[in-house]
Structure 1
Amino acid sequence: MHFYNHPKSIHAFDAKFEAQKIAFAPVSFQVARCLIEFGILAAIDISGGTSRTALAATPKGSSKPISDYGLGVLLDMGMSMGLIWQEGEYFHLDKTGHFLLHDEMTRTNLNFMHHICYQGMFSLEQALLTGKPEGLTQFGDWKTLYPALSSLPEAAKESWFSFDQFYSDHAFDTLLPLVLADKPAHLVDIGGNTGKWARSCCSYDNHVQVTIMDLPQQIALARRACSGADLVKRIQYLETNLLESNPAFVEGADIYWMSQFLDCFSKKQILNILKHTANAMTLDSKLFILETFWDKQPNAASAYCINATSLYFTAIANGNSRMYHSKVFIELIDKAGLSIDWQQHGIGLGHSLLCCTKK
């Protein structure tokens, strides 16, 4: 990690401009989203350059009508944000606008921020003071977000699962041969969510049996997603709450798997979960931990996204977890009675894989 160990080389005037971007960030975010939702960026992109008159006269690929006034304020701010530029009467898509429109990661992040985080982030200050997800009240009276996932509004649910799976999905091709290299008979997917990893394991290895451990609400989602005839006999389920003092736990499996799971908990909770896992493991068992550590990211842009995601946990998800520095996990793994046999970084879009065994 080398991108935070020296001051930025930037002129004072430019630094002040960056500060203004932060001050007006809520406006910029919603303008960018509206330029997409109203089809304005797409219309400019498809045309290769078009006039305001043409934009107002065409459907713009959107069923949402917009007035000439609305079009005007969005175009003006879009230029100030560097999304579009104007030559005479014609508007053109700039590079940032191109990625906002076409880059899957950017769109996934934007939808997640809009549907899950935007409203709740107003309560960030209070969440930092109380240690509780104060912004979660937008979805109802929940202590954490996770039991609420299956009952979220459809758009919010879709955005959450797309965000949750987007980063790990890009790592699957690399991960499967690493995790299943020793032909394990039984893999336990702790925090298995919708069962996507379990299904991938069964597709990759025709003999492995998988048990998904998760909250009852998540198990219900996984059962529906894994209901195919070829999976019914190979995927089992265990409803459990790992925050309980003595949670239900599968013992003696060959592989225990945690993908982007432990970052959903505080350090104290992580230690307890790792201790429960260590107690369930044999000396031949392996625990694989997949995480996105902010200090192991390939560039400042990735670290920015990871650190921003930490604040989602603070204000929305649970109030006390985050995306961690790798050294935190190294210390907790050791305290839990486990050893890291090997680790690999730079997987997919910035994942790290830790292979642990019982001491």
Structure 2
Amino acid sequence: MKDFGSDKKNVVQANLDAQKIAFAPIMFQAAKSLRNLGILEYLFQNNKATINTIATELNLSVYGVKVLLEAGLSLEMVYLKDDEFILTKTGYFILRDKMTNINMDFTQDVNYLAINHLEESIVNGKPEGLKELGDWDTVYIGLSELPEKIKKSWFDFDHFYSDYTFPEIMPILFGNKPKSFLDVGGNTGKFSMQCANYDPTVKITILDLPGQAAVARKNIAEAGFEDRISAIDTNLLDNTIPFPKGFDIIWMSQFIDCFSLEEISGLFKRAYDAMTDDASFYILETFWDLQKFQASTYSLHATSLYFTAVANGNSQMFHSEDILAVIEKAGFVVDELHEMIGMSHTLIKCKKK
């Protein structure tokens, strides 16, 4: 991975950052409470306020508002001037930024209890935290059975980042007027339906686990696309099951981060075997080394630990060089590479050698 980062902090800053890590789970809950109890919203609407005023207006105890706002000072979500608290830019992001709120809800609802099993997951090589959500081997098997609040936070997180890519990738994907797509790991069918909306003639087949394929069929039927989109139940990890042939494009979106490099190699090999010489293989993924902003890299590194402790125990948000090596090993050449698609994605177009 060559070089990344440095160690140029002074001792005082390093110590402060170490304490932020030491108390991070506690302070996360303080930030969430400031948001959920309406304290940040009140400061936003009224510009500034005292503890007593906030407590009275929100029907909270003075003590409760006091400890949360004092934590908010160290979190730099608020600052204090003349005994009145004022919302900072960071506080505004916690209150209003959609991405931040989706990430926080995903952390709370899906990961907060489960991530306590991270060490076990590393040692045992399986997602030991998943038992906090249900009795499955991977989270994907149980997605359709998750409690509604947890399911909503999971899908909001999953869809938020991919949704931003659709307007940019459609002209690229349909530039050569493909007639058929194989959407591997199509999940709820959202991408396939976007394609059907974009091109009124394209036909699409989704490959996914039975639970996800059933959800996709329901969504497809409700949208009226049964004549152009179908779904096939399959075990994507069974390398003895070939991918169906005859498609102009094989598509994997935010999909390979759900698998180990060895498993990805098997998926790519089956894609290769299913393709004609004229077909294209597209991969849409977030690579932590190709991010424009540090916040994106930080978020991706954190998301990798979700995969370790909750999702499956063996996958992550990859460095681009890891996946490019698997692409080459499978027999593909990279025909096009589009960076910074949407918020943080890279689109890779592969062809057979």
TM-score range, shorter chain: over 0.9
Q: What is the aligned partner in structure 1 of residue 200 from structure 2?
A: 206
1:285-321 Cα distance to aligned partner (Å, 9 max, x none): 1110001011111122211111111111000000000
Amino acid at match of 2:299: C
SS of residue in 2 equivalent to 1:188: strand
Amino acid at match of 1:265: F
Contact 2:139–2:312 (Cα < 8 Å) also in 1: yes
Q: What is the aligned partner in structure 2 of residue 225 from structure 1?
A: 219
Matched, 1:237 2:231: yes
Partner Cα separation in structure 1 for residue 281 and residue 287 of structure 2: 17
Q: What is the aligned partner in structure 2 of residue 300 from structure 1?
A: 294
Q: TM-score, normalised by structure 1?
A: 0.95
2:152 to 158, 162, 167: 158
Deviation at 1:248, TM superposition (A): 5.3
Contact 2:287–2:318 (Cα < 8 Å) also in 1: yes
Q: What is the aligned partner in structure 2 of residue 280 from structure 1?
A: 274
Matched, 1:144 2:143: no
1:156-176 Cα distance to aligned partner (Å, 9 max, x none): 101110111111111111001
Q: What is the aligned partner in structure 2 of residue 62 from structure 1?
A: none
Contact 2:242–2:270 (Cα < 8 Å) also in 1: no
Q: What is the aligned partner in structure 2 of residue 19 from structure 1?
A: 18
Matched, 1:55 2:54: yes
Q: What is the aligned partner in structure 2 of residue 247 from structure 1?
A: 241
Partner Cα separation in structure 1 for residue 120 and residue 126 of structure 2: 8
Partner Cα separation in structure 2 for residue 146 and residue 39 of structure 1: 34
1:332 to 321, 326, 329: 326
SS of residue in 2 equivalent to 1:9: coil
SS of residue in 1 equivalent to 2:338: strand
Contact 1:240–1:248 (Cα < 8 Å) also in 2: no
Partner Cα separation in structure 2 for residue 286 and residue 38 of structure 1: 50
Q: What is the aligned partner in structure 2 of residue 116 from structure 1?
A: 110
Partner Cα separation in structure 2 for residue 246 and residue 175 of structure 1: 31
Deviation at 1:350, TM superposition (A): 1.3
Matched, 1:343 2:342: no
Partner Cα separation in structure 2 for residue 315 and residue 146 of structure 1: 13
Q: What is the aligned partner in structure 2 of residue 44 from structure 1?
A: 43
1:165-197 Cα distance to aligned partner (Å, 9 max, x none): 111111111001101111111111111111111
Amino acid at match of 1:186: S
Contact 2:239–2:270 (Cα < 8 Å) also in 1: no
Partner Cα separation in structure 1 for residue 127 and residue 283 of structure 2: 25
Q: What is the aligned partner in structure 2 of residue 31 from structure 1?
A: 30
Partner Cα separation in structure 1 for residue 151 and residue 223 of structure 2: 26
Partner Cα separation in structure 1 for residue 230 and residue 104 of structure 2: 35
Partner Cα separation in structure 1 for residue 298 and residue 257 of structure 2: 16
Q: What is the aligned partner in structure 1 of residue 96 from structure 2?
A: 102
Contact 2:251–2:282 (Cα < 8 Å) also in 1: yes
SS of residue in 2 equivalent to 1:232: coil
Q: What is the aligned partner in structure 2 of residue 125 from structure 1?
A: 119
Contact 2:242–2:274 (Cα < 8 Å) also in 1: no
Contact 1:216–1:240 (Cα < 8 Å) also in 2: yes
Contact 2:114–2:130 (Cα < 8 Å) also in 1: yes
Task: State the Cα RMSD in Å.
Answer: 1.5
Partner Cα separation in structure 2 for residue 80 and residue 307 of structure 1: 24
Partner Cα separation in structure 1 for residue 154 and residue 39 of structure 2: 25
Contact 2:117–2:129 (Cα < 8 Å) also in 1: yes
Amino acid at match of 2:51: R
Aligned 1:67-106 pairs, distance under 5 A: 67-106=61-100
Q: After superposing the two structures, state which structure 1 stretch, 177-186 or 65-74, moved more.
A: 65-74
Amino acid at match of 2:280: K
Partner Cα separation in structure 1 for residue 222 and residue 63 of structure 2: 52
Deviation at 1:229, TM superposition (A): 5.8
Amino acid at match of 1:165: H
Partner Cα separation in structure 2 for residue 229 and residue 350 of structure 1: 29
Partner Cα separation in structure 1 for residue 88 and residue 223 of structure 2: 49
Matched, 1:265 2:264: no
Deviation at 1:68, TM superposition (A): 2.6
**Cα distance change on mapping 1:166 and 1:209 into 2, 3 Å:** same
Amino acid at match of 1:38: L
Q: Which runs of 5+ in 2 are unaligned?
A: none
Amino acid at match of 1:333: I
SS of residue in 1 equivalent to 2:40: helix
Q: TM-score, normalised by structure 2?
A: 0.97
Deviation at 1:220, TM superposition (A): 1.3
Partner Cα separation in structure 2 for residue 85 and residue 202 of structure 1: 50
1:290 to 284, 290, 293: 284
